[in-house]
Amino acid sequence: MPFVKIGKFIKLMKGELSGNKPVKKRFSWVINETKFLDFRKVRKLRETLEATRDIALREDKTVPVRDWFMVELGLSAGLRVEEMVNLKTSDLYLSKEQSFLIVRRGKGNKTRTVYFSKAFKQVCLFYLNWKEKIFPHSDYLFSSKNRVQLTKRALQKSFKKIIQKAGLDSHYSIHCLRHTYGSFLYKSSGHNLRLVQEQLGHSSIRTTQVYASVMDDEVKKAVERLYQD
């Protein structure tokens, strides 16, 4: 066998010298029940947080109120945890017509607009009013008592404690809030992948398509119930 340079050999193995381009790996991961919360679990999580929030307000505690808002933000805007910790008070736009927030340092350092409901607008107004009394002049939505921006790790650890308190499976991470938002938004939008893509800030529609897999189980259940009481 004639001597072949290492670089040329690698290209030969990849198929580049024969005119064949390397085959790109297909996007294979899917969203299933281990990665997002169903309606029952969302309700259980919210009920737990609302109860602890109310107690915290009476006892002048801060962490349960912050955690309540953190989960509502994840469920209502689908932000990545890094986007949460970088969010500032000035990034929220609460208008009568349509409220939204601006993610200024998203994945790939991209900026995007995320619209949200009137119900979450009221949550924001409550939290901002409370926050200004507890942590006045603090720029970040999530900060410590000395007005220092919280870390991703801090929110992740808080969420694990919340999950345990709500009696939900321990394998859920804070990222499940984003997947939950994407799954429910896909359904409520009439399966509008482009809308979900824009809200979540996916650079490729292929990434967003994983939420279509959520509907597979619903389809299976629906056809099994067809013509049955």
Tokens, residue 90: 């000035």
Catalytic one of 53, 80, 121, 131 = 80
Residue 211 CA to residue 224 CA, distance in Å, equals: 22
Catalytic one of 107, 112, 160, 187 = 107
Is there a catalytic annotation at residue 202?
A: yes
Is there a catalytic annotation at residue 80?
A: yes
Is there a catalytic annotation at residue 179?
A: no
Catalytic one of 160, 165, 175, 187 = 175
Residue with the two structure tokens 């986007």 = 83
Is there a catalytic annotation at residue 211?
A: yes
Tokens, residue 62: 């801060």
Catalytic one of 178, 179, 181, 186 = 178
Is there a catalytic annotation at residue 178?
A: yes
Which residue numbers are catalytic? Answer: 80, 107, 175, 178, 202, 211
